[in-house]
């Protein structure tokens, strides 16, 4: 739900607010503990370590993928710094597989929207805010996870 707020803000302001990300970060740090499944025989410390290692890998994955995308774009017209920070924070929640799936869905939906919006009469560059597509990716990823895990 929080990602939808970021998406709406990105549509109107074309940026991701750092203060909102700073507020969202503590929630994402707690998130791995909420998914913890401790069996009677497993140690709590080992379970927490594994969950936070997965969260750190997810944050790194989100950061690296979007940073490379930003660096490959011409004249700063591609991925912005707010997108990089947001996907890094979301990677804490979704882990490496989840954030990769989210970015794949976001990229595909942004590509399809771009194809739909291209005006062939002008050679203007089409600039789309990316966070709404990240929000779509988060929603579809969550639905996918719920369907697989049968919550």
Q: What pLDDT does 123 receive?
A: 63
C-alpha separations of 120 from 111, 116, 148 in Å: 16, 11, 41
Instruction: Enter the pTM of the model.
Output: 0.81
Lowest-confidence segment of 63-77, 81-95, 102-116 by average pLDDT: 63-77
CB 66 within 8 A of CB 87: yes
Tell me how far apart the alpha carbons of residues 27 and 90 are, in angstroms, rounded to a whole number.
Answer: 11
Q: Which H or E run includes 92? A: helix 81-117
Centre a 10 Å sphere on the Cβ of residue 77 and count the other Cβ atoms it contains: 10
- Region 47-67 average pLDDT: 90
């Amino acid at each position: 739900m929080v990602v939808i707020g970021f998406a709406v803000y990105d549509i109107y302001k074309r940026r991701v607010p750092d203060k909102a990300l700073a507020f969202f970060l503590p929630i994402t740090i707690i998130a791995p503990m909420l998914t913890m499944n401790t069996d009677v025989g497993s140690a709590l410390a080992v379970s927490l370590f594994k969950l936070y290692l997965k969260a750190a890998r997810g944050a790194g994955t989100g950061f690296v993928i979007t940073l490379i995308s930003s660096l490959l774009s011409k004249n700063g017209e591609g991925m912005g710094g707010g997108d990089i920070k947001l996907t890094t924070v979301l990677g804490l929640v979704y882990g490496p597989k989840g954030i990769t799936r989210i970015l794949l869905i976001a990229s595909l939906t942004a590509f399809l929207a771009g194809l739909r919006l291209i005006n062939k009469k002008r050679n203007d560059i089409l600039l789309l805010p990316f966070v709404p597509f990240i929000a779509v990716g988060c929603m579809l990823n969550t639905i996918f996870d719920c369907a697989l895990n049968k919550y």
